[in-house]
């Protein structure tokens, strides 16, 4: 990308301009910026509306404990192997699981998911994971996000490659993907027209209002004549400022009786809802809820660390379900995933160490919900003697979403080297 060998200055492409007069140079700069491709299209005509779902990727970093999030209470080994960290059987009083299907159940902190589950719009995919044995957070997150286990060289995310191999929903749209995080996660690395925006509510340039436009123009000119990747990022940034300033995030009113909590995760989902409803061509949104690395004092019941996280996750998804999935005709698919699950047996600190298979949550209008999709391996058939075995590859779930909900058949490029197996999680 950058071929400068020095830290600063040097070969910045000045040579080609040396022969130009200053006026001539500025004319070149102006011409480069003449096409108003960045102008927002906030009021989008209905016939532009895509048949493709908008995807919301939710990454749960840290290794979320799937055996607590969706309790396999029907597995005869569950209570014994989970010991002090077992969620009590349905009907057994305080803290008991709520049955879903006669085999799996939700712990109290996840009950906010029931509404979407019972409406048939939330699917749980259990015993799902990667064929790679790594128990390293960083390697496993990398594999999850690039969509290729055991690969240490691929630099782009699977969601980015989906965007790269599909036509934009809106050809002149400003932004195809946005991550509501300070930095850009790997899942979107390399994506076209993709930006991280930590705070969509404060998107404009600061400083003297009277000079804002001209300062913005100088920045545009500087970056238009600079190198990639910053050239594209700056162009998208300028367009995104206009786009976000045109959306009233502060005045956003949720539909369907939805109530978003004050936590950052709910706030991100609320901003996502506003962005989706504005129909500005954003096809993918990435958000995160982190902190699932519960080695000690896991706290699966009210007030505990993991219970609080589960409550945040389920509460946010409940609001989003009511506000967007139940109340609009814009199809959205939300997929929540973690880099791995946790060990079957707890450790002495009332926590669990890194394990293998986990679960995925898939929510949307066109999801085969109200069901726990699994090929349950049984806790008596553990992976590597101690972890939940993965019987569904995470790429099966993502691949099905990409093919059928995002309308992209180029699975060989999105998930290179893998043949996606249809698991029937989404409507085809």
Partner 1 sequence: MAGAGGSRATLPKDGGTGRGLELEPAPGGVGCDVSTFPPANFLSGETWTSGEGGESGAELGSDRLLLERITFGPSYADRAMMAAIGREAYLARQLAYETIDDSALEAELSARYPWLLMSVPEMVAAWVEEIDVEHAEVAITRALRSPRQLFERVVEMWNDHFNITSSGLTMAWTRAADERDVIRAHAMGKFRDLLGASARSAAMVIYLDNARNVAVAPNENYAREVMELHTTGVGAYTEDDVREVARCFTGWTTHLPNAGDQALTFRFDPALHDDGQKTVLGHVIPGGGGITDGETVLDILASHPSTARHVSARIARHFITPAPGSTLVDRLAAVFTASGGDLREVVREALSRRSLAHARPKFKRPFHFAVGVARALQASMTYSGQLRLKLAQAGHMPFKWETPDGYPDRTSYWAGALLWRWRLAASLMYNEMTGVEVDVPGLMFGARTVEQVAARIDSIVFGGAMPMTTRLLLEEYLRVNRPSNGVMAEALGLAVSSPEYQWF
Interactions with partner 1, residue window 196-235 (CB under 8 A): 196-199, 202-203, 205-208, 211, 214-215, 218-219, 221-223, 225-227, 229-231, 233-234
Size of the site for partner 1 (CB under 8 A): 80
Site for partner 1 in 65-124 (CB under 8 A): none
Stretch that binds partner 1, among 87-95, 177-185, 359-367, 370-378 (CB under 8 A): 177-185
In this structure, the number of other CB atoms found within 10 A of the CB of residue 264 comes to 15
Query: 324 and 332 in contact (C-beta within 8 Å)?
Result: yes
- Give the whole-angstrom CA distance, residue 17 versus residue 19: 5
Stretch that binds partner 1, among 15-23, 122-130, 266-274, 372-380 (CB under 8 A): 15-23
Shortest CB 274 distance to partner 1, Å: 18
Interface residue with partner 1 among 296, 305, 330, 410 (CB under 8 A) is 296
Q: How far is CA 196 from CA 180, 187, 410, in A?
A: 6, 12, 25
- Give the whole-angstrom CA distance, residue 407 versus residue 91: 43
Q: Which residue has the tokens 């749980």?
A: 124
Interface residue with partner 1 among 31, 155, 409, 421 (CB under 8 A) is 155
Shortest CB 335 distance to partner 1, Å: 22
Interface residue with partner 1 among 50, 98, 165, 181 (CB under 8 A) is 181
Query: 354 and 340 in contact (C-beta within 8 Å)?
Result: yes
The residues near 167 (Cβ < 8 Å, ≥ 6 apart) are: none
Which lies closer to partner 1 via its Cβ, residue 231 or residue 366? 231
Residue whose C-alpha is closest to residue 54's, from 282, 268, 249: 282
Interface residue with partner 1 among 93, 183, 251, 262 (CB under 8 A) is 183
- Give the whole-angstrom CA distance, residue 345 versus residue 386: 7
Side-chain-facing half-sphere of 85: CA atoms under 13 Å: 29
The residues near 101 (Cβ < 8 Å, ≥ 6 apart) are: 371, 372
Q: Which residue has the tokens 């450790």?
A: 347
Helix (H, G, I), strand (E, B) or coil at 37: coil
Binding mask 317-346 vs partner 1 (x if CB under 8 A, - otherwise)? -----------------------------x
Q: Is 123 exposed, middle or buried (0-12, 13-18, 19+ CB in 10 A)?
A: buried
Which lies closer to partner 1 via its Cβ, residue 2 or residue 48? 2
Shortest CB 322 distance to partner 1, Å: 29
Shortest CB 139 distance to partner 1, Å: 6
Shortest CB 395 distance to partner 1, Å: 22
Which lies closer to partner 1 via its Cβ, residue 115 or residue 139? 139
Shortest CB 351 distance to partner 1, Å: 7
Query: 375 and 392 in contact (C-beta within 8 Å)?
Result: yes
Shortest CB 409 distance to partner 1, Å: 27
Binding mask 246-285 vs partner 1 (x if CB under 8 A, - otherwise)? ----------------------------------------
Which lies closer to partner 1 via its Cβ, residue 13 or residue 76? 13
Site for partner 1 in 24-53 (CB under 8 A): 25-26, 29
Q: Is 94 exposed, middle or buried (0-12, 13-18, 19+ CB in 10 A)?
A: exposed
Residue whose C-alpha is closest to residue 69's, from 367, 379, 400, 313: 313
Shortest CB 263 distance to partner 1, Å: 15
Which lies closer to partner 1 via its Cβ, residue 68 or residue 236? 236
Which lies closer to partner 1 via its Cβ, residue 38 or residue 404? 38
Side-chain-facing half-sphere of 207: CA atoms under 13 Å: 8
Report the phi/psi class of residue 407: left, alpha or beta, with left for phi > 0 and alpha for psi in -120 to 50.
Answer: left
Interface residue with partner 1 among 68, 130, 166, 240 (CB under 8 A) is 240
Shortest CB 286 distance to partner 1, Å: 11
User: Which tokens go with 414?
Assistant: 């999105």
Q: Is 252 exposed, middle or buried (0-12, 13-18, 19+ CB in 10 A)?
A: middle
Binding mask 133-152 vs partner 1 (x if CB under 8 A, - otherwise)? xxxxxxx-------------
Which lies closer to partner 1 via its Cβ, residue 327 or residue 347? 347
Site for partner 1 in 366-425 (CB under 8 A): 384
Shortest CB 345 distance to partner 1, Å: 8
- Give the whole-angstrom CA distance, residue 150 versus residue 152: 6
């Amino acid at each position: 990308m950058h071929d400068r060998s020095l830290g600063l200055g040097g070969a910045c492409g000045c040579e080609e301009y040396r022969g130009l007069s200053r006026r001539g140079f500025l004319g070149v700069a102006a011409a480069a910026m003449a096409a108003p491709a960045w102008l927002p299209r906030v009021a989008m005509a209905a016939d532009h509306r895509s048949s493709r779902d908008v995807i919301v990727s939710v990454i749960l970093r840290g290794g979320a404990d799937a055996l607590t999030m969706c309790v396999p209470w029907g597995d005869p080994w569950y209570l014994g192997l989970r010991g002090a960290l077992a969620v009590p059987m349905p009907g057994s009083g305080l803290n008991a699981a709520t049955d879903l299907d006669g085999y799996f159940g939700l712990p109290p902190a996840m009950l906010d998911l029931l509404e979407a589950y019972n409406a048939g719009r939330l699917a749980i995919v259990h015993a799902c994971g990667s064929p790679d044995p790594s128990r390293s957070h960083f390697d496993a997150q990398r594999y999850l996000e690039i969509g290729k286990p055991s690969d240490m060289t691929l630099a782009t995310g699977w969601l980015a490659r989906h965007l790269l191999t599909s036509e934009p929903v809106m050809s002149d749209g400003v932004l195809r993907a946005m991550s509501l995080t300070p930095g850009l996660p790997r899942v979107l690395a390399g994506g076209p027209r993709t930006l991280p925006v930590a705070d969509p509510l404060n998107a404009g340039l600061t400083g003297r209002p009277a000079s804002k436009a001209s300062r913005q123009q100088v920045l545009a000119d500087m970056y238009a004549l600079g190198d990639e990747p910053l050239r594209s990022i700056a162009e998208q940034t300028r367009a995104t400022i206009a786009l976000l300033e045109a959306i009233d995030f502060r005045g956003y009113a949720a539909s369907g009786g939805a109530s978003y909590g004050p936590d950052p995760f709910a706030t991100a989902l609320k901003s996502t809802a506003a962005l989706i409803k504005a129909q500005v061509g954003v096809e993918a949104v990435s958000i995160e809820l982190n902190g699932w690395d519960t080695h000690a004092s896991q706290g699966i019941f009210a007030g505990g660390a993991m219970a609080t996280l589960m409550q945040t996750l389920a509460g946010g998804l409940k609001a989003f379900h009511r506000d967007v999935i139940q109340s609009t005709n814009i199809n959205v698919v939300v997929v929540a995933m973690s880099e791995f699950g946790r060990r079957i047996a707890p450790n002495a600190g009332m926590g669990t160490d890194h394990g293998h298979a986990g679960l995925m949550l898939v929510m949307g209008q066109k999801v085969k919900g109200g069901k726990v999709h699994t090929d349950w391996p049984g806790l008596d058939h553990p992976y590597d003697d101690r972890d939940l075995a993965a019987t569904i590859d995470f790429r099966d779930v993502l691949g099905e979403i990409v093919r059928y909900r995002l309308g992209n058949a180029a699975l060989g490029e999105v998930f290179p080297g893998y043949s996606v197996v249809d698991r029937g999680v989404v409507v085809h």
